[in-house]
Amino acid sequence: MQIEFRTKKLQKQYEVSQQAFRAYGQEAGKRYIQRISIIKQTRTFEKLKILHGLNCHPLKGDKKGKWSISLTGFYRLIFTISNDKIEVVRIEEVSKHYDD
């Protein structure tokens, strides 16, 4: 599976854990890295949707067409997919869930 990042900053936060910790805090930063690793290892989108604890779901409104995975109760990872086989996942952003 191929992972793309919308920005170099998002990519750096995945590659250098201290960058993620600084941006999102220790717990959310750790989960940011873990969740992307899980996405990389998942073969189908259906399997990703049923993995316990991820709360993977489609977004609505101006984020329609994007998907969300929970990092903490406050932060979520937003991504898009190229097709149901998850050949390419594009990490779009980390957002504060209730700040939309």
Query: Which CATH number does the domain housing residue 50 bear?
Result: 3.30.2310.20
Q: 15: how many CB neighbours lie within 10 A of its CB?
A: 11
pLDDT, residue 100, reads: 46
Which is nearest to 30 in space by CA: 18, 40, 42? 18
15-72 confidence digits (pLDDT tens):
999 999 999 999 999 999 999 999 999 888 888 889 888 999 999 999 999 999 999 8
The model's pTM: 0.86
| Number of domains making up the chain | 1
- Beta carbons of 82 and 39 less than 8 angstroms apart: no
Q: Residue 23 is part of which domain span?
A: 2-99
pLDDT, residue 1, reads: 73
Tokens of 58: 């489609």
d(CA 66, CA 64): 5
Name which of 21-25, 60-64, 73-77, 94-98 the model is least confident about.
Answer: 94-98
d(CA 95, CA 46): 24
